[in-house]
Structures are given as structure tokens and as C-alpha cells.
Amino acid sequence: MALSTLPKIGMGTFRLKGNDARDAVKSALSLGYRHIDTAQMYENESEVGDGITSSGIPRREIFLTTKIWYEQLHRSDLINSLHDSLARLKTDHVDLTLIHWPSPGDEVPMEEYLGALRDAQREGLTTHIGISNFTCAQMDRAKEILGDTPILTNQVEVHPFLANRKVVDHAQNLGITVTGYMPLAVGKVMEDETLIRIGEEHNASPAQIALAWVASRGVVPIPSSTRPQHQKANLDALNITLSASEIAEIDRLDRNERIANPDFAPAWD
């Protein structure tokens, strides 16, 4: 039986290349991760596929996500590019396919690419569909276009320095799970005094505290790490329960510090 819901934490693979990507995926799966996140733009789908194949974990036990790059949003391009992704990933389907970014300047109408994504789902190329980097208004439009077809997640940047509260709350109100990428703010959480101090109270690292805070909001974190000891620590972070006052302290770290902000990004909320 394939996994039908998003596991509570995933292994992100952004910036992982070659053997680093292969080994990181294999090691994460051996430690108990069952959710692997990649994308066409990461140029590592082939290595991610190798890591899954060599892990010995049955494919049906793994929740695998990829994302369609914004240059592949025309209907035929989207389906063809997903077939290419599946070939690289060495699988006949992914569990979740996301639109990586909304079409810059609405060059491709949302109706076209979300319709194509729904077609890919009906063809069995992907079990679930979702979106990434969509604003509140874009989520509303996507819901309207897809009607009864569920949007499993909106994957957006979430960490203690970018709580992204408006988007997270709006998604959750729409019944869309939020996946949080860059939950460790590319390592910046390690230097934050508040996270260090709260970590000492829990005998945990600042990174673990950041992940526990993300998870406490019902957001699925997808930290990226090549080191098995860090991967294990990230998994263990889900066992940490923060007090209401600790959560409030971390909430106050929000400074709207956005790390992923390319020139084709939408007008953020």
C-alpha cells in the first residue's frame, strides 16, 4: 500500500549533487526517513533514484516528491517533463508532483498547468498534486481551478526568521498542508542565542529546536543534510515538545528574512 499522506518530516535534496545526493538519500532511508523531496531544477533526480534503489527500502514505503520547473508549464511540456523525471527517478510514478513556482507574470495560465497536472494524476504518473511558492491569492485561484481535486500541500520557505504566518494560516484554513523548506535557514539557526538557550534546556541543538518549532505549527519540515548524524538528529527533533512560552519566544524571532527570493518570484504576502 502506497503512503497516502505526507510523512511528518522529509529529507530535502536541494543543492545535493552526485554521490552526495545518492549517499544522503540512502542514509536517510536507512535511518527511517520515508519522505524524499527533489525537483527537476535540482538536477539530481537520477542520483535520488539511485539512492532509493540502492537503499533496499521497497518503493511503495517511500513518499517521493518532485517539482515541475516553471519553463515546463505548458500542457505538453509538463507531461513530457514528468515522464522524464520518472525515468531519471527510476520509478513509474511519484507520490506527489508540485508546480515549483507559479508561472512568472502568469505567462502560462494557471488553468493550463494545473489542468495538465491533474491530467498527470489521472494518468497515474503522480498519486497526489500540489503547489510551491504560491501566495494566498494564488492558492485561492488554484483551489477554484481544481475544484474537487485536493491540493495536498503548498511548499514554502518556513523557519524561525521567516514564519510566513499569513500563507501558512491561509493554506491550513483551506485544508492544504504546508511543507516548509529551508527550515534551518541554511544553517543560520545554529547561531541564534534564543534557539541555543532553549536547546540547552532540552539537551538539543538549535537546529532541532527550529525543527520542533516548525513541526509544532503543523508544518512538515524538509531539512537537507548529507551527514547521517545530522539526519538522525533532524528526525529526533520531532520528539521534542516545546512549551507555550518557548514557542512564543521563537515566534518573536520572525524578521521576514526571506532566503529564496528569485527575480521571478510572485509578489509575496
pLDDT of 2 > 50? The answer is no
Please tell me the distance from the alpha carbon of residue 171 to that of residue 183, in angstroms, as a whole number.
18
Backbone angles phi, psi at 97, to 5 degrees: -120, 130
Provide the mean pLDDT of the chain.
Answer: 97
Nearest one of 88, 67, 63 to 3, comparing CA atoms: 63
- Give catalytic status of residue 42 as yes or no: yes
Question: Any idea how long the chain is?
Answer: 269
pTM exceeds 0.85: yes
pLDDT classification of 5: cutoffs 50, 70, 90: confident
Stretch (H or E) spanning 265: none
pLDDT classification of 151: cutoffs 50, 70, 90: very high
Q: What is the reported pLDDT for 4?
A: 59
Extents of the domains making up the chain:
11-184+219-224
Q: What is the reported pLDDT for 145?
A: 98
pLDDT of 251 > 80? The answer is yes
Mean pLDDT, residues 119-128: 98
pLDDT digits (tens, 9 = 90+) for 12-54: 999 999 999 999 999 999 999 999 999 999 999 999 999 999 9
Percent of the chain at pLDDT exceeding 70: 99
Sign of CA dihedral 97, 100, 104, 105: positive
Please tell me the distance from the alpha carbon of residue 153 to that of residue 63, in angstroms, as a whole number.
13
Question: Taking CA 120 as the corner, what is the angle to CA 93 and CA 263, rounded to the nearest 5 degrees?
Answer: 100
Choice among 33, 42, 70, 113 that is catalytic: 42
pLDDT digits (tens, 9 = 90+) for 60-89: 999 999 999 999 999 999 999 999 999 999
Least confident range from 3-7, 44-48, 62-66, 230-234: namely: 3-7
DSSP one-letter string for 136-153 = HHHHHHHHHHHTTS---E
**CATH code reported for the domain at 11-184+219-224:** 3.20.20.100
Q: What is the reported pLDDT for 1?
A: 33
Asked if 97 and 66 count as a contact pair (C-beta separation under 8 A), the reply is yes
Asked if 157 and 134 count as a contact pair (C-beta separation under 8 A), the reply is no
Nearest one of 9, 7, 3 to 158, comparing CA atoms: 9
Q: Please list, in sequence order, all residues whose beta carbon lies within 8 angstroms of the beta carbon of residue 99, skipping any fewer than 6 positions away.
A: 67, 68, 70, 73, 113, 114, 117, 130, 131, 132, 134
pLDDT of 3 > 70? The answer is no
